[in-house]
Chain A
Amino acid sequence: MKVCLAASGGGHLTELLQIKAAWKGYEHFYVSDRRTNSIALSKKQKVYFVVCPRRNPLKLMANTFQAFYILAKERPDVVISTGADTAVPICLLAKLFFRKVIFIESFCRITDASLSGKIMSRFADLMLVQWPENKSFFAKAEYAGSVF
């Protein structure tokens, strides 16, 4: 089984890497945008760099094409993501191709939901929040601890 880990560079990727023990033993690769920690990670792990959409339609389209290419090439069985916008297209495309998706809302969201979280909570097979009070902002979400 192959696992795709998708997260924007910076804090979202830091959060994802806190739980890397979860996919230990499975073949895996990362998808992120270019920031210091994702570049550092690429020296030790397989990392695909994609465009960060930043709410720009052209960049979003570019990111989506890249996501399609990565999914077609790697064919992961599961995508695990901590957001944000960089990771949403690959998560949605994975669902289109009948793959499983775990989406973990950021530790920084307590009394509201991120836009990525609002979108992904409708499609993720497992939607996780990191504060119990954050569950109420999603139709179906589970609290199962946090990244630290």
Chain B
Amino acid sequence: MKVFVAVGTHEKPFNRLIKAVDEIAEKQNGFEIFVQIGNSTYAPKHCKFKKFLSPEQYENEIKKADVVVSHSGAGSIISALANKKPLIIVPRLKKYDEHTDDHQLDIANALERMGKAIVVCDMGCLCEAILEAKKVRPDMKSSKQKLIARVKKFLAECNGKKK
């Protein structure tokens, strides 16, 4: 199983997730794991990794993956869901100094309620979650066009007043 793990570009490390993934790569057979480690200070010993990826490299890794494990950042989530990949979200938590607050937990829980992702906070459950992830169907009706239309309308009004 190909697993892509992403922790985003946030300034804080996310060593807790990376160590857990590295342990899975060491102990489990049949996992091929690639990790985008960002500003984390732990370097995996049992899987391939890179600090940052270009948008094209990121899209390629998502497309190749069977399961995506991601921090709860918009960029990571958008790509996984747009490519209809099973998504496991591991929210960065304030108590581990992984983010400034716990808003990542809110978004992760909201997406899980909608059936778009599995949330894992306990690293002991991560391996099982990856194996279960294929049962989640990440299929979301997009409201992007509605937002684009609203912004377009505002711009048109500004342009009209300018003339």
Instruction: State whether these chains interact.
Output: yes
* Residues of A that sit less than 8 Å from B by CB: 1, 3, 9-15, 18-19, 21-23, 26, 35-37, 40, 54, 77-78, 80, 100, 102, 104, 106-112, 114, 125-126, 128, 130-131, 142, 144-148
Distance between Cα atoms of A142 and B54 in the complex (Å): 33
B73 to chain A: which residues have CB within 8 Å?
Answer: 10-11, 108
A10-B9, A78-B155 in contact; A107/B147 too (CB < 8 A)? no
Distance between Cα atoms of A80 and B159 in the complex (Å): 14
Instruction: State the main secondary structure of chain B at its contact with A.
Output: helix
Report if B44 contacts A (CB, 8 A): no
Interface residues in B2-54 by Cβ distance below 8 A to A read 8-11, 52-54
Residue of B nearest to A126 (CB): B154
- Whether the Cβ atoms of B148 and A21 lie closer than 8 Å is yes
* Residues of B that sit less than 8 Å from A by CB: 8-11, 52-56, 72-79, 81-82, 101, 103-104, 106-107, 110, 140, 142-152, 154-155, 158-159, 162
Residue of B nearest to A9 (CB): B9
Return B12 CB to nearest CB of chain A, in Å.
11
Partner of B147, one of A26, A37, A146: A146
A26 to chain B: which residues have CB within 8 Å?
Answer: 155, 159
B78 to chain A: which residues have CB within 8 Å?
Answer: 14-15, 18, 107, 147-148
A10-B9, A22-B152 in contact; A107/B146 too (CB < 8 A)? no
Distance between Cα atoms of A77 and B159 in the complex (Å): 9
Return B24 CB to nearest CB of chain A, in Å.
25
